[in-house]
């Protein structure tokens, strides 16, 4: 699963402020045809002619942004390391002949298990966990915008997640697994970890972007004498690439838990993510004095947007703007419609992801169960789910470097919308293939 969080707060504000400032700057430069200096930029702003002629390159990313990416890596490694164990832990009972830790006996085809509550309960709890992780960022963004600020909200989420990890390890102790007392601490840990993820994820990306101080493009002369434009947009994209890279690398590191549950037991499988998680408070304490100060909490973008939505739909204004053809989105065509109208357009597009995530979220637990009914020869049945981030890390550079430029060189329109459609089709083929395999397994059993 590609982890693409939706954040709210000052990142949205700074992005809008930058767009407005950038447009005004370009207009002023075109009229005056002169270099404009600003006190917070390391160099002069580019003129309209320079914007066309000079190369646009990313600026220098502060080390604090990369340090926060390590925080995200540790959080994702601990999150996926624990969450990926839920299907086996909940669905299957303690393996017969095993050591009582949830691990199967050596050299067997049995699958790790603990609670033995069945596939339905396992899938339901996995979906609840995902629901919390993907809805609580709304609360995390509001708290950061109006009450605590981004760093404090991350710190509170880190504290809650720490308690969740302790509960998970406690629930996996062999004594609790064998006397039936593991479910309550496990459930509490699941709920706390899912909720804490929202407090953290809503604010990691915005606080990373804030570390880049220049609010606009500027001209810099390289040591070889070449003048280039340090592009803020490209710099933010570079920062976000580090952010998403840390997510997928962290998710892949969590693969160690799958082997721990199979060969040692769930107590070690839950302990490994908890130990990785300890990196978070250490790095947060280290970088806190070095962070660029955030805006003081005041209003929430989410709540402001809600009020705008009520005003927008209560008037006749929204009937004046219709969703443009796909090619207008593909090529980034802009109109003069209000910003909120564009938000509505984006929401219409992203509504398809609701259906996709419902199917994808339940499918993860089902595929783990499916693999558990097959001959694995020592490979954990939940291995492939954890290996998925590695495929993402490898495939994205290949697509960006070879596939997309290939289409562009041949003037084949393959913009974001078409890419998403192809992705949906590939996902549907994968789901259909899983159904065929399940049918074959049931047929062979008969």
Length of the chain equals 446
pLDDT at 317: 52
- Beta-bridged to residue 36, according to DSSP, are 45
pLDDT at 446: 62
440 vs 446: CA distance, rounded Å: 10
97 vs 117: CA distance, rounded Å: 19
CB 383 within 8 A of CB 258: yes
Find tokens 């062999």 and name the residue. 174
Strand arrangement of the beta sheet that strand 55-58 belongs to: 55-58, 227-231, 218-221
Query: Which residue stretches of 180-226 are H helix?
Result: 183-210
396 vs 408: CA distance, rounded Å: 16
Q: Which helix (H) or strand (E) holds 427?
A: helix 416-445
CA-closest candidate to residue 322, choices 293, 299, 348: 348
pLDDT at 180: 87
pLDDT at 361: 66
The phi, psi pair for 337, rounded to 5°, reads -70, 160
DSSP, collapsed to helix, strand or coil, labels residue 154 as helix
Q: What is the dihedral of CA 79, 81, 87, 92, to 10 degrees?
A: -140
243 vs 162: CA distance, rounded Å: 22
DSSP, collapsed to helix, strand or coil, labels residue 228 as strand
**Domain range holding 387?**
10-314+351-414
266 vs 168: CA distance, rounded Å: 9
Q: Which two tokens stand for residue 26?
A: 């370009």
pLDDT at 57: 86
Helix and strand element counts for the chain (H, E): 19, 3
Beta strands 55-58 and 218-221 are: unpaired
DSSP, collapsed to helix, strand or coil, labels residue 231 as strand
Q: What is the DSSP string of 267-329?
A: HHHHHHHHHHHTHHHHHHHHHGGGSPPPPPS---HHHHHHHHHHHHHHSSGGGG--PPPHHHH
Find tokens 């005041």 and name the residue. 298
144 vs 211: CA distance, rounded Å: 17
DSSP state at residue 55: E
DSSP, collapsed to helix, strand or coil, labels residue 148 as helix
Residue at 53 is within a domain: yes
Residue at 255 is within a domain: yes
CA-closest candidate to residue 102, choices 111, 92, 112: 112
User: pTM score, two decimals?
Assistant: 0.75
CB 252 within 8 A of CB 259: no
Give the Cβ contact number of residue 294 at 10 Å: 17
Q: Which two tokens stand for residue 274?
A: 């908890």
Domain count along the chain: 1
Residue at 306 is within a domain: yes
- State the CATH number of the domain containing residue 152: 1.20.1250.20
Residue at 410 is within a domain: yes
What does each of the 446 residues of the chain score in pLDDT, given as a tens digit?
444 333 333 333 333 333 333 333 333 333 333 333 344 688 888 888 888 898 888 889 999 999 999 999 999 999 989 988 998 899 999 999 899 999 999 888 888 999 999 988 988 898 899 889 989 999 999 999 888 999 999 999 999 999 999 999 999 999 999 998 999 999 999 999 999 999 999 999 999 999 998 888 899 988 998 899 998 888 998 898 889 889 888 888 888 899 999 999 999 999 999 999 999 999 999 999 999 888 887 777 778 777 777 777 776 555 554 444 444 444 444 444 456 677 777 778 788 888 887 777 667 767 777 777 788 787 887 777 777 777 877 887 788 778 888 887 788 888 888 888 998 998 888 888 888 888 888 787 76
At 386-443, the pLDDT tens digits run 777 778 778 877 887 788 888 877 888 888 888 889 989 988 888 888 888 888 887 8
Q: Helices 63-83 & 255-263, crossing angle to 10 degrees?
A: 30
Give the Cβ contact number of residue 288 at 10 Å: 11
Residue at 244 is within a domain: yes
Residue at 439 is within a domain: no
Residue at 243 is within a domain: yes
DSSP state at residue 265: -
For the chain, how are helix, strand and coil distributed in percent, rounded to 5? 70, 5, 25
Residue at 431 is within a domain: no
pLDDT at 215: 86
Find tokens 């495939």 and name the residue. 395
Beta strands 55-58 and 227-231 are: parallel
19 vs 61: CA distance, rounded Å: 20
Q: Which two tokens stand for residue 142?
A: 């509001």
């Amino acid at each position: 699963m590609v982890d693409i969080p939706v954040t709210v707060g000052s990142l949205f504000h700074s992005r809008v402020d930058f767009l407005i400032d950038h447009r005004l700057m370009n207009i002023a430069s075109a009229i005056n045809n002169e270099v404009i200096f600003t006190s917070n930029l390391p160099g002069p702003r580019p003129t309209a002619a320079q914007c066309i002629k000079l190369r646009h390159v990313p600026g220098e990313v502060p080390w604090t942004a990369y340090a926060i990416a390590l925080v995200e890596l540790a959080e994702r490694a601990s999150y996926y390391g624990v969450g990926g164990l839920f299907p086996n832990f909940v669905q299957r009972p303690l393996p017969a002949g095993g050591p009582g830790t949830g691990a199967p006996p050596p050299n067997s085809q049995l699958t790790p298990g603990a609670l033995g509550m069945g596939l339905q309960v396992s899938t339901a709890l996995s979906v609840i966990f995902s629901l919390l992780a993907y809805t609580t960022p709304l609360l995390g963004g509001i708290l950061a915008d109006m009450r605590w600020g981004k760093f404090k909200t991350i710190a509170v989420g880190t504290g809650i997640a720490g308690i969740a990890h302790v509960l998970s390890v406690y629930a996996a102790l062999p004594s609790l697994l064998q006397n039936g007392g593991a479910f309550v601490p496990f459930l509490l840990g699941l709920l706390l970890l899912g909720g804490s993820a929202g407090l953290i994820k809503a604010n990691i990306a915005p606080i990373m972007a804030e570390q880049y101080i220049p609010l606009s493009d500027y001209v810099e002369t390289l040591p070889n004498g070449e003048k280039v434009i340090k592009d803020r947009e490209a710099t933010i994209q570079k920062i976000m690439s580090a952010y998403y890279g840390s997510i997928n690398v962290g998710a892949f590191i969590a693969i160690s838990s799958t082997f721990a549950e199979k060969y040692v037991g769930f107590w070690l499988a839950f302990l490994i993510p908890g130990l990785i998680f300890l990196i978070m408070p250490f790095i947060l304490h280290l970088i806190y004095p070095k962070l660029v100060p955030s805006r003081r909490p005041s209003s929430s973008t989410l709540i402001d947007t809600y009020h705008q939505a009520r005003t927008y739909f209560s008037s006749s204004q929204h009937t004046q703007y219709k969703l443009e053809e796909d090619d207008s989105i593909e090529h980034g065509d802009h109109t003069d419609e209000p910003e909120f109208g564009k938000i509505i357009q984006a929401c219409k597009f992203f509504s398809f992801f609701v259906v996709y995530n419902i199917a994808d979220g339940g499918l993860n637990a089902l595929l783990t169960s499916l693999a558990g009914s097959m001959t694995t020869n020592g490979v954990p049945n939940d291995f492939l789910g954890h290996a998925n981030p590695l495929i993402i890390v490898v495939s994205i550079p290949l697509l960006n470097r070879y596939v997309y430029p290939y289409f562009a060189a041949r003037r084949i329109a393959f913009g974001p919308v078409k890419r998403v459609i192809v992705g949906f089709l590939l996902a549907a083929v994968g789901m259909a293939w899983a159904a065929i395999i399940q049918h074959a397994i049931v047929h062979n059993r008969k």
